[in-house]
Chains A and B, each alone.
Chain A
């Protein structure tokens, strides 16, 4: 099994890559290839030109920028997972990266690639949503910021234009965040049957702000607005969390798939919202 024929370029600078994308409407960005290559092998997708961004310098760092951390386009899942900066300030993302695929996938796939790919059951998008991340998209015309809440548009569809490269994701620092999921192969292994991420800020014993997001249950990774509304302003107690669990899928289209009925998935969404909130709140203490 191998892809249809295509042309391949591996530019060494961002400008060169953006120029190539601008002048070739049939071009596709490739980063780790962990989602793109399987899709091309199955011939679900057959670009004319693959622009491999992996040789562009300066995109492989994780930086502390004061109030946020920035993760470059080429940072691989294993690096995100093991980063002390990410573990300390964006624990939900560190867990989501650690539980993305397997050792081999984590050694090649990138955090930004997982966001750009926007799979309905991917891990890191849920963490990015809960943490209120911002995506930085570059094209030959300049750069623009896209809020995570506006980034995941539909199944396998992000807000990126075909000529744009996601150069980094910026994550506001949070002392209280967590992600948990049921993997398709049990435990935390493989894509989420259902999973949830939560990020909370406590002030004077009250949840002053929160982000809660779901993955695996609908047409895209999505914010659980009902849970956010339920938890903000409470003391973060078990009772308050139960209130957020009850509203986990409010306004969310839950879909049946190979891994479970809509009813089962809605149930799991609640279970994981509860676990993520509990861990996130405990972490603030």
Chain B
């Protein structure tokens, strides 16, 4: 079947089998391999992309369901080479180790901060409950999102813990 949508600001269209999952269309047809496949069972969130402003698990969505949608993948987040504040936060606060969960984690965090510009630590932890990380223990991910929140609010982020405790 024919599908068309906008991915990272560009109109794309293609011919897919109805059973093609959005994650496979993005990775295999569009070659946007920043969207990862982790659990394949709808739990880990590594496949998270933003569809019409909402974080969704692209392993649990048919490409056909995304007909006409606006999609942002991790490749579309930076503008003119400048990292998005959430990407910058993960860089500045060491919000990743192996990096496998990171694209999905970042896109969930972007929508979390869209809805709640100044989340508490608890709200951040609940906001990323759909994204699993096997490396970091989440601590620095929370710090990265706090950093990004401050940046997006036009505030100076709190200094890194390792600077304070040095």
Q: Which of B19, B126, B127, B129 contacts A5 (CB 8 A)?
A: B19
Q: Are A103 and B18 in contact (CB under 8 A)?
A: no
Question: If A10-B67, A52-B64 touch, does A108 touch B17 (CB 8 Å cutoff)?
Answer: no
Q: Is the CB of A103 within 8 A of B111?
A: yes
Name A's B-contacting residues (CB within 8 A).
Answer: 1-8, 10, 33-34, 37-38, 40-42, 50, 52, 54, 101-105, 107-108, 185, 189
Given B1, B40, B57, which contacts A104 in the complex, CB threshold below 8 Å?
B57
User: Do residues B130 and A103 form an inter-chain contact, with CB atoms below 8 A?
Assistant: yes
Partner among B1, B41, B129 whose Cβ is within 8 Å of the Cβ of A8: B1
- With both beta carbons as reference points, the residue of chain A lying nearest to B128 in the complex is identified as A103
Chain B interface residue bracket vs A: 20 to 34
The complex places the Cα of A37 from the Cα of B47 at a distance, in Å, of: 15
- CA gap between A117 and B115 in the complex, in Å: 29
Partner among A3, A107, A108 whose Cβ is within 8 Å of the Cβ of B19: A3
CA–CA, A239 and B59, complex, Å: 49
Known A8-B1, A102-B45; contact A37-B61, beta-carbon cutoff 8 A: yes
Given A7-B18, A50-B18, A102-B45, check contact A108 B129 (CB 8 Å): no
| Cα A105 to Cα B129 with chains together (Å) | 11
CB contact under 8 A between A4 and B130, given known A37-B62, A104-B57, A107-B56: no
A–B complex contacts, Cβ < 8 Å, 27 sampled:
A5-B17, A5-B18, A6-B18, A8-B64, A33-B62, A33-B65, A34-B42, A37-B21, A37-B42, A37-B61, A38-B60, A41-B21, A41-B41, A41-B59, A42-B41, A54-B65, A101-B130, A102-B129, A103-B108, A104-B45, A104-B57, A104-B130, A105-B42, A105-B130, A108-B54, A185-B129, A189-B129
